A and B are shown apart, each in its own frame.
Chain A
Amino acid sequence: MDDHDISGLTSYDVRYTLSPDRPKTFKGQIARLQAQRDTIPTGWLSIFDRAMHKLRGVDCLKRDGTLLDEIQVEHGELGIDVLLDVGDRAVYGILKSLRRRSRCTCQDCGRGIGAAYRWESRKTQCVRCHVDSELKAALAMWLDDGYSSRLYRNRLFVGMDELPANVRLLINRSKIKKHTVNSTGDEFHYVEPDAVLACREELQVIRRYYERQQAA
Protein backbone atom coordinates (compact mmCIF):
# COMPACT_ATOMS: atom_id res chain seq x y z
CA MET A 1 0.00 0.00 0.00
CA ASP A 2 1.22 3.22 -1.23
CA ASP A 3 4.55 4.64 -0.47
CA HIS A 4 5.00 3.35 3.09
CA ASP A 5 7.38 0.66 4.14
CA ILE A 6 5.40 -1.26 6.74
CA SER A 7 8.08 -3.67 7.83
CA GLY A 8 8.73 -3.47 11.58
CA LEU A 9 5.22 -2.20 12.50
CA THR A 10 2.85 -3.90 14.94
CA SER A 11 -0.46 -5.27 13.76
CA TYR A 12 -2.23 -2.21 15.20
CA ASP A 13 0.13 0.10 13.38
CA VAL A 14 -0.43 -1.77 10.21
CA ARG A 15 -4.19 -1.58 10.57
CA TYR A 16 -3.94 2.14 11.15
CA THR A 17 -1.53 2.55 8.33
CA LEU A 18 -3.84 0.70 6.00
CA SER A 19 -6.92 2.53 7.24
CA PRO A 20 -8.69 4.42 4.45
CA ASP A 21 -9.47 7.23 6.95
CA ARG A 22 -5.80 8.03 7.41
CA PRO A 23 -4.89 11.32 5.80
CA LYS A 24 -2.28 10.88 3.19
CA THR A 25 -0.44 14.12 3.86
CA PHE A 26 1.34 15.33 6.98
CA LYS A 27 -0.74 18.51 6.92
CA GLY A 28 -3.91 16.41 6.85
CA GLN A 29 -2.71 14.47 9.87
CA ILE A 30 -2.18 17.69 11.82
CA ALA A 31 -5.69 18.80 10.88
CA ARG A 32 -6.99 15.46 12.11
CA LEU A 33 -5.25 15.91 15.48
CA GLN A 34 -6.66 19.40 15.70
CA ALA A 35 -10.15 17.99 15.26
CA GLN A 36 -9.58 15.79 18.31
CA ARG A 37 -8.77 18.82 20.47
CA ASP A 38 -12.00 18.50 22.46
CA THR A 39 -10.82 15.23 24.00
CA ILE A 40 -7.90 16.97 25.71
CA PRO A 41 -8.24 18.16 29.34
CA THR A 42 -8.61 21.94 29.59
CA GLY A 43 -5.32 22.55 31.33
CA TRP A 44 -3.32 20.93 28.55
CA LEU A 45 -4.91 22.78 25.69
CA SER A 46 -2.30 25.52 25.70
CA ILE A 47 0.67 23.14 25.44
CA PHE A 48 -1.15 21.14 22.78
CA ASP A 49 -1.83 24.27 20.75
CA ARG A 50 1.80 25.27 21.05
CA ALA A 51 2.89 21.84 19.82
CA MET A 52 0.45 22.04 16.90
CA HIS A 53 1.80 25.46 16.03
CA LYS A 54 5.34 24.07 15.98
CA LEU A 55 4.29 21.10 13.86
CA ARG A 56 2.74 23.44 11.33
CA GLY A 57 5.98 25.35 11.32
CA VAL A 58 8.05 22.48 10.04
CA ASP A 59 8.20 21.82 6.32
CA CYS A 60 5.08 19.71 5.92
CA LEU A 61 5.65 18.73 2.32
CA LYS A 62 8.86 16.90 3.15
CA ARG A 63 7.18 14.88 5.92
CA ASP A 64 4.30 13.27 4.12
CA GLY A 65 5.71 9.85 4.94
CA THR A 66 5.51 10.45 8.71
CA LEU A 67 2.59 8.69 10.44
CA LEU A 68 1.14 10.22 13.62
CA ASP A 69 -0.98 8.23 16.10
CA GLU A 70 -4.14 9.39 17.90
CA ILE A 71 -3.97 11.75 20.88
CA GLN A 72 -3.39 9.72 24.02
CA VAL A 73 -4.42 10.94 27.46
CA GLU A 74 -3.36 8.28 29.90
CA HIS A 75 -1.20 7.76 32.98
CA GLY A 76 -1.24 11.50 33.57
CA GLU A 77 0.41 12.31 30.28
CA LEU A 78 -0.59 13.84 26.98
CA GLY A 79 1.12 12.08 24.13
CA ILE A 80 1.03 11.71 20.38
CA ASP A 81 3.11 8.81 19.10
CA VAL A 82 4.95 8.75 15.84
CA LEU A 83 4.09 5.45 14.19
CA LEU A 84 6.32 5.75 11.19
CA ASP A 85 9.28 8.04 11.16
CA VAL A 86 10.94 8.99 7.92
CA GLY A 87 14.16 9.90 9.65
CA ASP A 88 13.65 13.60 10.39
CA ARG A 89 13.88 14.04 14.19
CA ALA A 90 12.16 17.45 14.30
CA VAL A 91 8.63 16.08 14.56
CA TYR A 92 9.72 13.48 17.03
CA GLY A 93 11.34 16.19 19.19
CA ILE A 94 8.22 18.36 19.22
CA LEU A 95 6.02 15.47 20.32
CA LYS A 96 8.51 14.34 22.94
CA SER A 97 8.56 17.87 24.31
CA LEU A 98 4.74 17.87 24.44
CA ARG A 99 4.73 14.69 26.50
CA ARG A 100 7.43 16.02 28.82
CA ARG A 101 5.64 19.31 29.36
CA SER A 102 2.34 17.55 30.07
CA ARG A 103 3.98 15.78 33.00
CA CYS A 104 4.50 19.07 34.79
CA THR A 105 1.39 20.99 33.73
CA CYS A 106 -1.87 20.68 35.67
CA GLN A 107 -4.38 19.09 33.35
CA ASP A 108 -7.25 20.98 35.01
CA CYS A 109 -5.96 24.51 35.38
CA GLY A 110 -2.85 24.58 33.17
CA ARG A 111 -0.65 25.81 35.98
CA GLY A 112 2.98 24.69 35.78
CA ILE A 113 3.71 22.48 38.76
CA GLY A 114 6.71 21.11 40.54
CA ALA A 115 5.26 18.26 42.52
CA ALA A 116 2.54 16.52 40.58
CA TYR A 117 0.07 13.87 41.68
CA ARG A 118 0.49 11.78 38.55
CA TRP A 119 1.27 8.45 40.12
CA GLU A 120 -1.35 8.57 42.85
CA SER A 121 -4.41 9.54 40.93
CA ARG A 122 -3.27 8.83 37.36
CA LYS A 123 -3.86 12.48 36.73
CA THR A 124 -1.42 15.34 36.56
CA GLN A 125 -2.82 17.92 38.89
CA CYS A 126 -1.53 20.76 40.96
CA VAL A 127 -2.12 20.69 44.71
CA ARG A 128 -5.19 22.90 44.46
CA CYS A 129 -6.93 20.92 41.74
CA HIS A 130 -6.01 17.67 43.46
CA VAL A 131 -7.54 18.79 46.77
CA ASP A 132 -10.61 20.19 45.04
CA SER A 133 -11.25 17.11 42.91
CA GLU A 134 -10.80 14.77 45.90
CA LEU A 135 -13.21 16.88 47.89
CA LYS A 136 -15.80 16.94 45.10
CA ALA A 137 -15.58 13.17 44.76
CA ALA A 138 -16.05 12.80 48.50
CA LEU A 139 -19.07 15.11 48.43
CA ALA A 140 -20.66 12.91 45.80
CA MET A 141 -20.00 9.83 47.91
CA TRP A 142 -21.37 11.28 51.14
CA LEU A 143 -24.23 13.39 49.87
CA ASP A 144 -25.58 11.70 46.75
CA ASP A 145 -28.20 9.04 46.94
CA GLY A 146 -26.98 6.69 44.22
CA TYR A 147 -26.43 2.97 44.68
CA SER A 148 -22.64 3.16 44.88
CA SER A 149 -22.78 6.07 47.34
CA ARG A 150 -25.15 4.18 49.61
CA LEU A 151 -22.92 1.14 49.43
CA TYR A 152 -19.92 3.29 50.33
CA ARG A 153 -21.68 4.81 53.31
CA ASN A 154 -22.86 1.43 54.64
CA ARG A 155 -19.37 0.23 55.46
CA LEU A 156 -18.38 -0.57 59.02
CA PHE A 157 -15.56 1.97 59.09
CA VAL A 158 -13.81 4.50 56.90
CA GLY A 159 -10.05 4.93 56.96
CA MET A 160 -8.98 8.49 57.65
CA ASP A 161 -6.58 8.40 54.72
CA GLU A 162 -9.55 7.74 52.41
CA LEU A 163 -11.09 11.05 53.34
CA PRO A 164 -9.97 14.33 51.84
CA ALA A 165 -8.13 16.62 54.23
CA ASN A 166 -10.99 19.13 54.37
CA VAL A 167 -13.45 16.45 55.43
CA ARG A 168 -10.98 15.19 58.04
CA LEU A 169 -10.85 18.68 59.53
CA LEU A 170 -14.61 18.64 60.07
CA ILE A 171 -14.75 15.35 61.93
CA ASN A 172 -15.02 15.49 65.68
CA ARG A 173 -11.63 14.40 67.08
CA SER A 174 -13.23 12.23 69.73
CA LYS A 175 -14.79 10.07 67.00
CA ILE A 176 -11.43 9.15 65.45
CA LYS A 177 -10.33 5.67 66.50
CA LYS A 178 -6.88 4.16 66.29
CA HIS A 179 -5.82 0.63 65.52
CA THR A 180 -2.25 -0.55 65.84
CA VAL A 181 -1.08 -3.46 63.71
CA ASN A 182 0.71 -5.83 66.10
CA SER A 183 3.21 -7.21 63.64
CA THR A 184 4.42 -3.94 62.20
CA GLY A 185 3.42 -1.43 64.83
CA ASP A 186 1.79 0.75 62.17
CA GLU A 187 -1.08 2.90 63.30
CA PHE A 188 -4.34 2.98 61.38
CA HIS A 189 -6.84 5.74 62.04
CA TYR A 190 -10.48 5.26 61.15
CA VAL A 191 -14.00 6.55 61.88
CA GLU A 192 -17.47 5.12 61.67
CA PRO A 193 -19.51 6.46 58.71
CA ASP A 194 -21.89 8.20 61.16
CA ALA A 195 -19.06 10.50 62.24
CA VAL A 196 -18.73 11.74 58.66
CA LEU A 197 -22.49 11.94 58.18
CA ALA A 198 -22.65 14.15 61.26
CA CYS A 199 -20.87 16.78 59.16
CA ARG A 200 -23.56 16.63 56.48
CA GLU A 201 -24.53 20.24 57.01
CA GLU A 202 -20.93 21.40 56.47
CA LEU A 203 -20.53 19.15 53.43
CA GLN A 204 -23.63 20.71 51.92
CA VAL A 205 -22.15 24.17 52.45
CA ILE A 206 -18.98 23.02 50.65
CA ARG A 207 -21.06 21.70 47.78
CA ARG A 208 -22.91 24.99 47.53
CA TYR A 209 -19.53 26.78 47.55
CA TYR A 210 -18.36 24.79 44.54
CA GLU A 211 -21.69 25.18 42.77
CA ARG A 212 -21.58 28.93 43.19
CA GLN A 213 -17.95 29.01 42.05
CA GLN A 214 -18.86 27.04 38.96
CA ALA A 215 -21.80 29.29 38.21
CA ALA A 216 -19.57 32.35 38.58
Chain B
Amino acid sequence: MFDDKLTPDPVMLPRGRRACRRKAEELSYVRSLHREFGAFARSLEQDAVSETPRLGQRELFKVSELREQMTWLREQSGDNHKALLKSFKKLEEAGPWRDVAKAPAPELLDSLHQDFPNFSAVTTLIQQRLTLCRVAPEQHLQLPPILLNGDPGAGKTAFAQRVASILGVRFEKVDLSSTHAAFALTGLESGYSSSHPGRIWHSLQQGSLSALWLLDELDKTSESRDGGSQYLLSLLEPVSASRFTDNCTQLPVNAAHLCYLATSNDIDRIDSPLRSRFEVFEIHAPTEEQMCAVVRSIYRDIRKTETWAAYFSDVLDVDVIDELRRSSPRQVRRLLINGCAKAATEGRIALMPGDVAVGRDRGTKTTRKIGFL
Protein backbone atom coordinates (compact mmCIF):
# COMPACT_ATOMS: atom_id res chain seq x y z
CA MET B 1 0.00 0.00 0.00
CA PHE B 2 2.49 2.65 1.17
CA ASP B 3 5.74 1.66 -0.46
CA ASP B 4 8.69 1.86 1.91
CA LYS B 5 11.28 2.01 -0.83
CA LEU B 6 10.60 5.52 -2.04
CA THR B 7 12.41 6.73 -5.09
CA PRO B 8 12.74 10.48 -5.65
CA ASP B 9 9.76 11.92 -7.47
CA PRO B 10 11.12 13.75 -10.53
CA VAL B 11 8.20 16.14 -10.44
CA MET B 12 8.44 17.14 -6.82
CA LEU B 13 12.22 17.44 -6.50
CA PRO B 14 13.24 21.07 -6.82
CA ARG B 15 15.64 21.77 -9.60
CA GLY B 16 19.00 23.18 -8.61
CA ARG B 17 18.19 26.83 -9.05
CA ARG B 18 14.92 26.48 -7.16
CA ALA B 19 16.28 24.39 -4.37
CA CYS B 20 15.75 26.02 -1.02
CA ARG B 21 15.72 25.07 2.60
CA ARG B 22 11.97 25.12 2.77
CA LYS B 23 11.57 22.59 -0.02
CA ALA B 24 14.12 20.29 1.55
CA GLU B 25 12.35 20.50 4.88
CA GLU B 26 9.02 19.83 3.20
CA LEU B 27 10.41 16.82 1.39
CA SER B 28 11.79 15.40 4.59
CA TYR B 29 8.49 15.88 6.39
CA VAL B 30 6.49 14.41 3.48
CA ARG B 31 8.61 11.29 3.59
CA SER B 32 8.36 10.88 7.32
CA LEU B 33 4.61 11.33 7.01
CA HIS B 34 4.51 8.71 4.28
CA ARG B 35 6.29 6.26 6.53
CA GLU B 36 3.84 7.07 9.32
CA PHE B 37 0.91 6.37 7.00
CA GLY B 38 2.50 3.06 6.09
CA ALA B 39 2.89 2.12 9.74
CA PHE B 40 -0.68 3.21 10.41
CA ALA B 41 -1.98 1.11 7.50
CA ARG B 42 -0.11 -1.89 8.85
CA SER B 43 -1.54 -1.31 12.32
CA LEU B 44 -5.03 -1.16 10.80
CA GLU B 45 -4.37 -4.49 9.10
CA GLN B 46 -3.13 -5.92 12.38
CA ASP B 47 -6.28 -4.66 14.09
CA ALA B 48 -8.39 -6.40 11.48
CA VAL B 49 -6.41 -9.60 11.89
CA SER B 50 -6.55 -9.63 15.65
CA GLU B 51 -10.33 -9.36 15.68
CA THR B 52 -11.37 -11.85 18.27
CA PRO B 53 -13.57 -14.65 16.96
CA ARG B 54 -16.97 -15.34 18.38
CA LEU B 55 -17.45 -18.38 20.56
CA GLY B 56 -17.44 -21.54 18.47
CA GLN B 57 -15.74 -19.99 15.43
CA ARG B 58 -12.68 -21.48 13.79
CA GLU B 59 -10.03 -20.00 11.52
CA LEU B 60 -10.53 -20.81 7.84
CA PHE B 61 -7.18 -19.43 6.67
CA LYS B 62 -4.13 -17.56 7.95
CA VAL B 63 -4.33 -13.89 7.03
CA SER B 64 -0.57 -13.66 6.54
CA GLU B 65 -0.70 -16.50 4.02
CA LEU B 66 -3.58 -14.86 2.21
CA ARG B 67 -1.63 -11.60 1.97
CA GLU B 68 1.40 -13.46 0.59
CA GLN B 69 -0.77 -15.04 -2.08
CA MET B 70 -2.33 -11.67 -2.90
CA THR B 71 1.08 -10.05 -3.27
CA TRP B 72 2.11 -12.79 -5.65
CA LEU B 73 -1.12 -12.54 -7.61
CA ARG B 74 -0.77 -8.78 -8.03
CA GLU B 75 2.43 -9.38 -9.97
CA GLN B 76 0.75 -11.88 -12.29
CA SER B 77 -1.13 -11.12 -15.45
CA GLY B 78 -4.05 -13.07 -16.85
CA ASP B 79 -7.77 -13.04 -16.28
CA ASN B 80 -7.79 -16.09 -14.02
CA HIS B 81 -5.26 -14.44 -11.69
CA LYS B 82 -7.30 -11.27 -11.60
CA ALA B 83 -10.46 -13.22 -10.82
CA LEU B 84 -8.63 -15.06 -8.07
CA LEU B 85 -7.30 -11.81 -6.63
CA LYS B 86 -10.83 -10.47 -6.57
CA SER B 87 -12.08 -13.49 -4.67
CA PHE B 88 -9.13 -13.19 -2.27
CA LYS B 89 -10.08 -9.57 -1.60
CA LYS B 90 -13.59 -10.69 -0.72
CA LEU B 91 -12.11 -13.35 1.52
CA GLU B 92 -9.95 -10.74 3.23
CA GLU B 93 -12.94 -8.51 3.82
CA ALA B 94 -14.95 -11.41 5.25
CA GLY B 95 -12.12 -12.22 7.67
CA PRO B 96 -10.68 -15.60 8.63
CA TRP B 97 -13.26 -16.69 11.19
CA ARG B 98 -16.13 -19.00 10.30
CA ASP B 99 -18.84 -20.76 12.26
CA VAL B 100 -18.80 -24.49 12.82
CA ALA B 101 -22.11 -26.35 13.05
CA LYS B 102 -23.16 -27.51 16.48
CA ALA B 103 -23.94 -31.15 17.07
CA PRO B 104 -27.71 -31.59 17.36
CA ALA B 105 -29.34 -33.77 19.99
CA PRO B 106 -28.88 -37.48 19.13
CA GLU B 107 -32.60 -38.09 19.68
CA LEU B 108 -33.33 -36.16 16.51
CA LEU B 109 -31.95 -39.09 14.55
CA ASP B 110 -34.40 -41.57 16.08
CA SER B 111 -36.71 -41.24 13.10
CA LEU B 112 -33.93 -42.63 10.91
CA HIS B 113 -34.18 -45.98 12.67
CA GLN B 114 -37.77 -46.22 11.52
CA ASP B 115 -37.41 -44.76 8.01
CA PHE B 116 -34.08 -46.42 7.18
CA PRO B 117 -34.10 -49.63 9.20
CA ASN B 118 -31.31 -51.17 7.12
CA PHE B 119 -29.05 -48.21 8.14
CA SER B 120 -29.67 -48.76 11.82
CA ALA B 121 -26.01 -49.46 12.65
CA VAL B 122 -24.89 -46.27 10.90
CA THR B 123 -27.53 -44.23 12.66
CA THR B 124 -26.42 -45.61 16.00
CA LEU B 125 -22.80 -44.70 15.30
CA ILE B 126 -23.76 -41.16 14.32
CA GLN B 127 -25.88 -40.81 17.46
CA GLN B 128 -23.00 -41.98 19.63
CA ARG B 129 -20.63 -39.50 17.97
CA LEU B 130 -23.12 -36.69 18.44
CA THR B 131 -23.32 -37.53 22.12
CA LEU B 132 -19.53 -37.36 22.26
CA CYS B 133 -19.44 -33.99 20.46
CA ARG B 134 -21.96 -32.55 22.90
CA VAL B 135 -19.72 -33.36 25.85
CA ALA B 136 -17.35 -30.54 24.76
CA PRO B 137 -18.40 -26.97 25.66
CA GLU B 138 -18.44 -25.75 22.04
CA GLN B 139 -20.32 -28.87 20.85
CA HIS B 140 -18.75 -28.77 17.38
CA LEU B 141 -20.12 -31.28 14.93
CA GLN B 142 -17.42 -33.81 14.05
CA LEU B 143 -18.22 -37.14 12.40
CA PRO B 144 -15.78 -39.78 11.21
CA PRO B 145 -15.74 -40.58 7.49
CA ILE B 146 -18.37 -43.27 6.93
CA LEU B 147 -18.39 -45.72 4.05
CA LEU B 148 -21.68 -47.37 3.11
CA ASN B 149 -20.95 -50.42 1.02
CA GLY B 150 -23.84 -52.23 -0.57
CA ASP B 151 -25.87 -52.85 -3.65
CA PRO B 152 -27.29 -49.95 -5.62
CA GLY B 153 -30.75 -48.71 -4.80
CA ALA B 154 -30.55 -49.39 -1.07
CA GLY B 155 -31.27 -45.73 -0.28
CA LYS B 156 -27.75 -44.56 0.52
CA THR B 157 -28.16 -41.12 -1.08
CA ALA B 158 -31.58 -40.60 0.49
CA PHE B 159 -30.11 -41.56 3.86
CA ALA B 160 -27.23 -39.09 3.46
CA GLN B 161 -29.64 -36.31 2.52
CA ARG B 162 -31.80 -37.02 5.55
CA VAL B 163 -28.75 -37.06 7.82
CA ALA B 164 -27.59 -33.70 6.41
CA SER B 165 -30.99 -32.13 6.91
CA ILE B 166 -31.19 -33.37 10.51
CA LEU B 167 -27.64 -32.22 11.27
CA GLY B 168 -28.48 -28.82 9.78
CA VAL B 169 -25.48 -28.65 7.47
CA ARG B 170 -25.06 -28.17 3.72
CA PHE B 171 -25.27 -31.32 1.64
CA GLU B 172 -22.84 -31.70 -1.25
CA LYS B 173 -22.66 -34.66 -3.57
CA VAL B 174 -19.82 -35.58 -5.87
CA ASP B 175 -19.72 -38.50 -8.28
CA LEU B 176 -16.24 -39.96 -7.97
CA SER B 177 -16.67 -42.27 -10.94
CA SER B 178 -16.36 -39.21 -13.17
CA THR B 179 -12.92 -38.79 -14.78
CA HIS B 180 -12.56 -35.23 -13.59
CA ALA B 181 -13.69 -35.72 -10.01
CA ALA B 182 -10.24 -34.78 -8.70
CA PHE B 183 -10.28 -31.43 -10.53
CA ALA B 184 -13.86 -30.82 -9.50
CA LEU B 185 -13.01 -31.36 -5.84
CA THR B 186 -9.53 -29.95 -5.46
CA GLY B 187 -9.38 -27.47 -8.37
CA LEU B 188 -7.25 -27.11 -11.45
CA GLU B 189 -3.77 -25.52 -11.27
CA SER B 190 -3.63 -21.80 -12.04
CA GLY B 191 -1.11 -22.45 -14.83
CA TYR B 192 -3.95 -23.62 -17.06
CA SER B 193 -6.10 -21.02 -18.76
CA SER B 194 -9.21 -22.86 -17.61
CA SER B 195 -8.01 -23.07 -14.01
CA HIS B 196 -10.65 -22.89 -11.31
CA PRO B 197 -10.89 -23.58 -7.59
CA GLY B 198 -12.47 -26.88 -6.59
CA ARG B 199 -15.79 -27.55 -4.93
CA ILE B 200 -14.19 -28.01 -1.51
CA TRP B 201 -12.86 -24.45 -1.76
CA HIS B 202 -16.25 -23.09 -2.82
CA SER B 203 -17.98 -25.05 -0.08
CA LEU B 204 -15.71 -23.43 2.52
CA GLN B 205 -16.48 -19.93 1.26
CA GLN B 206 -19.95 -20.16 2.80
CA GLY B 207 -20.67 -18.90 6.29
CA SER B 208 -20.04 -22.27 7.94
CA LEU B 209 -17.07 -24.62 7.84
CA SER B 210 -19.36 -27.62 8.21
CA ALA B 211 -20.91 -29.56 5.36
CA LEU B 212 -21.81 -33.17 4.68
CA TRP B 213 -20.17 -34.51 1.54
CA LEU B 214 -21.52 -37.59 -0.17
CA LEU B 215 -18.66 -39.23 -2.04
CA ASP B 216 -20.61 -41.38 -4.46
CA GLU B 217 -19.14 -44.51 -6.09
CA LEU B 218 -15.91 -44.47 -4.11
CA ASP B 219 -14.92 -47.85 -5.52
CA LYS B 220 -14.86 -46.41 -9.05
CA THR B 221 -12.24 -43.80 -8.08
CA SER B 222 -9.33 -46.19 -8.26
CA GLU B 223 -10.05 -46.91 -11.89
CA SER B 224 -9.71 -43.30 -13.00
CA ARG B 225 -6.43 -42.14 -14.49
CA ASP B 226 -5.60 -39.05 -12.46
CA GLY B 227 -3.76 -40.60 -9.57
CA GLY B 228 -6.80 -42.53 -8.38
CA SER B 229 -8.02 -41.48 -4.97
CA GLN B 230 -4.76 -40.04 -3.61
CA TYR B 231 -6.22 -36.55 -3.30
CA LEU B 232 -8.88 -37.90 -0.92
CA LEU B 233 -6.35 -39.21 1.58
CA SER B 234 -5.37 -35.77 2.84
CA LEU B 235 -9.00 -34.64 3.00
CA LEU B 236 -10.03 -37.58 5.14
CA GLU B 237 -7.20 -37.19 7.66
CA PRO B 238 -8.19 -34.45 10.17
CA VAL B 239 -4.62 -33.17 10.65
CA SER B 240 -3.85 -32.76 6.96
CA ALA B 241 -7.41 -31.60 6.20
CA SER B 242 -6.89 -28.63 8.51
CA ARG B 243 -4.27 -27.39 5.99
CA PHE B 244 -6.01 -28.44 2.78
CA THR B 245 -4.59 -26.64 -0.25
CA ASP B 246 -6.65 -26.16 -3.37
CA ASN B 247 -4.65 -26.65 -6.57
CA CYS B 248 -5.81 -23.36 -8.02
CA THR B 249 -5.69 -21.00 -5.05
CA GLN B 250 -2.69 -22.55 -3.28
CA LEU B 251 -3.96 -21.12 -0.02
CA PRO B 252 -4.11 -23.58 2.89
CA VAL B 253 -7.61 -23.64 4.34
CA ASN B 254 -9.22 -25.50 7.19
CA ALA B 255 -11.31 -28.36 5.79
CA ALA B 256 -11.19 -30.43 8.96
CA HIS B 257 -14.82 -29.76 9.85
CA LEU B 258 -16.26 -31.35 6.72
CA CYS B 259 -18.04 -34.66 7.23
CA TYR B 260 -17.86 -37.41 4.62
CA LEU B 261 -20.30 -40.15 3.77
CA ALA B 262 -19.07 -42.39 0.96
CA THR B 263 -20.88 -45.08 -0.97
CA SER B 264 -19.53 -48.06 -2.85
CA ASN B 265 -20.80 -51.26 -4.43
CA ASP B 266 -17.66 -53.35 -4.09
CA ILE B 267 -15.40 -52.64 -1.15
CA ASP B 268 -12.60 -54.86 -2.46
CA ARG B 269 -11.95 -52.39 -5.24
CA ILE B 270 -11.11 -49.61 -2.79
CA ASP B 271 -7.43 -49.12 -1.96
CA SER B 272 -6.62 -50.17 1.57
CA PRO B 273 -5.11 -46.78 2.62
CA LEU B 274 -8.36 -45.13 1.60
CA ARG B 275 -10.54 -47.86 3.11
CA SER B 276 -8.71 -47.64 6.42
CA ARG B 277 -9.79 -44.03 6.80
CA PHE B 278 -13.49 -44.92 6.83
CA GLU B 279 -15.86 -46.51 9.29
CA VAL B 280 -17.17 -49.21 6.95
CA PHE B 281 -20.77 -50.45 7.04
CA GLU B 282 -22.31 -53.17 4.92
CA ILE B 283 -25.71 -52.00 3.80
CA HIS B 284 -28.14 -54.70 2.77
CA ALA B 285 -31.40 -54.12 1.03
CA PRO B 286 -34.20 -53.90 3.59
CA THR B 287 -36.08 -57.06 4.45
CA GLU B 288 -39.72 -57.33 3.52
CA GLU B 289 -40.69 -56.46 7.08
CA GLN B 290 -38.42 -53.42 7.06
CA MET B 291 -39.76 -52.38 3.66
CA CYS B 292 -43.17 -51.49 5.12
CA ALA B 293 -41.58 -48.65 7.05
CA VAL B 294 -39.40 -47.73 4.08
CA VAL B 295 -42.40 -47.51 1.71
CA ARG B 296 -44.24 -45.27 4.15
CA SER B 297 -41.13 -43.12 4.53
CA ILE B 298 -40.71 -42.78 0.77
CA TYR B 299 -44.37 -41.84 0.37
CA ARG B 300 -43.99 -39.21 3.09
CA ASP B 301 -40.94 -37.89 1.31
CA ILE B 302 -42.79 -37.68 -2.00
CA ARG B 303 -45.62 -35.79 -0.32
CA LYS B 304 -43.07 -33.36 1.08
CA THR B 305 -41.05 -32.75 -2.07
CA GLU B 306 -43.55 -32.98 -4.94
CA THR B 307 -45.93 -30.08 -5.40
CA TRP B 308 -48.70 -32.23 -6.83
CA ALA B 309 -48.56 -34.76 -3.96
CA ALA B 310 -50.87 -32.73 -1.70
CA TYR B 311 -53.73 -33.88 -3.97
CA PHE B 312 -53.40 -37.47 -2.72
CA SER B 313 -54.41 -38.94 0.63
CA ASP B 314 -51.71 -38.77 3.29
CA VAL B 315 -51.97 -42.41 4.32
CA LEU B 316 -50.95 -45.27 2.08
CA ASP B 317 -53.22 -48.28 1.83
CA VAL B 318 -51.92 -51.48 3.48
CA ASP B 319 -52.48 -53.45 0.26
CA VAL B 320 -50.41 -50.95 -1.69
CA ILE B 321 -47.59 -51.29 0.85
CA ASP B 322 -47.85 -55.03 0.61
CA GLU B 323 -47.57 -54.79 -3.16
CA LEU B 324 -44.43 -52.64 -2.91
CA ARG B 325 -42.57 -54.41 -0.09
CA ARG B 326 -40.69 -56.69 -2.47
CA SER B 327 -39.25 -53.86 -4.55
CA SER B 328 -36.07 -51.95 -3.88
CA PRO B 329 -36.36 -48.45 -2.34
CA ARG B 330 -35.41 -46.86 -5.65
CA GLN B 331 -38.06 -48.87 -7.48
CA VAL B 332 -40.62 -48.02 -4.80
CA ARG B 333 -40.23 -44.33 -5.42
CA ARG B 334 -40.64 -44.75 -9.16
CA LEU B 335 -43.63 -47.07 -8.75
CA LEU B 336 -45.32 -44.70 -6.31
CA ILE B 337 -44.96 -41.74 -8.67
CA ASN B 338 -46.20 -43.81 -11.60
CA GLY B 339 -49.09 -45.02 -9.44
CA CYS B 340 -50.00 -41.45 -8.50
CA ALA B 341 -50.00 -40.52 -12.17
CA LYS B 342 -52.30 -43.44 -12.95
CA ALA B 343 -54.64 -42.58 -10.05
CA ALA B 344 -54.79 -38.92 -11.09
CA THR B 345 -55.69 -39.98 -14.62
CA GLU B 346 -58.59 -42.02 -13.25
CA GLY B 347 -59.63 -39.18 -10.95
CA ARG B 348 -58.77 -40.94 -7.67
CA ILE B 349 -56.99 -39.44 -4.66
CA ALA B 350 -55.99 -42.78 -3.14
CA LEU B 351 -53.64 -45.34 -4.62
CA MET B 352 -54.86 -48.85 -5.37
CA PRO B 353 -52.65 -51.94 -5.40
CA GLY B 354 -53.15 -52.18 -9.15
CA ASP B 355 -51.58 -48.74 -9.63
CA VAL B 356 -48.23 -49.87 -8.27
CA ALA B 357 -48.27 -53.48 -9.47
CA VAL B 358 -45.39 -54.61 -11.65
CA GLY B 359 -45.19 -57.76 -13.70
CA ARG B 360 -42.27 -59.66 -12.18
CA ASP B 361 -41.31 -62.94 -10.64
CA ARG B 362 -41.76 -62.69 -6.90
CA GLY B 363 -39.12 -64.71 -5.10
CA THR B 364 -39.57 -66.37 -1.76
CA LYS B 365 -36.42 -64.86 -0.27
CA THR B 366 -36.95 -62.29 2.44
CA THR B 367 -33.87 -60.36 1.32
CA ARG B 368 -32.58 -60.27 -2.15
CA LYS B 369 -29.83 -58.72 -4.24
CA ILE B 370 -30.80 -55.57 -6.07
CA GLY B 371 -29.18 -53.39 -8.66
CA PHE B 372 -27.09 -54.00 -11.71
CA LEU B 373 -25.62 -57.41 -11.15
Contact = CB atoms under 8 A, between A and B. Distances in A.
A161 interface: yes
B40 A209 contact: yes
Q: Which of A165, A176, A201 has the most C-beta atoms of chain B within 10 angstroms of its own C-beta?
A: A165
B331 to A, nearest CB: 61
A130 interface: yes
Given A160-B11, A161-B11, A166-B33, A202 B27 contact: no
A169 B2 CA distance: 9
A114 interface: yes
Nearest to A202: B1
Interface in B1-51: 1-2, 6, 9-12, 20-22, 25-27, 29-30, 33-34, 36-37, 40-41, 44
Interface string A163-203: 00110111000001000000000000100000000000110
Interface residues of B, number: 22
A138 interface: no
A93 B194 CA distance: 83
Contacts, number: 58
Contacts of B37: 166, 202, 205-206, 209
A115 interface: yes
A128 interface: yes
A202 B44 contact: no
A169 B34 contact: yes
A61 B85 CA distance: 78
A165 B27 contact: yes
A37 interface: no
A40 interface: no
A201 B227 CA distance: 45
A201 B1 contact: yes
A205 B34 contact: no
A205 B11 contact: no
Interface in A135-153: 135
> What interface size band does chain A fall in?
20 to 34
A189 B21 contact: no
Interface in B27-79: 27, 29-30, 33-34, 36-37, 40-41, 44
A208 interface: yes
A6 interface: no
B252 to A, nearest CB: 26
A131 interface: yes
Interface in A51-73: none
B29 A205 contact: no
A166 B34 contact: yes
A168 B29 CA distance: 14
B26 A205 contact: no
Contact of A131 (B1, B33, B40): B33
A1 B73 CA distance: 83
A31 interface: no
Contacts of A131: 26, 29-30, 33
A127 interface: yes
A169 B1 contact: no
Contacts of B22: 115, 127
Contacts of A168: 9, 11-12
Contact of A165 (B21, B26, B40): B26
Contact of B25 (A127, A189, A208, A209): A127
Interface of B: 1-2, 6, 9-12, 20-22, 25-27, 29-30, 33-34, 36-37, 40-41, 44
Interface of A: 114-115, 127-128, 130-132, 135, 160-161, 165-166, 168-170, 176, 189, 201-202, 205-206, 208-209, 212
10 contacts: A115-B25, A127-B22, A128-B29, A131-B26, A169-B6, A202-B37, A205-B2, A206-B37, A208-B40, A208-B44
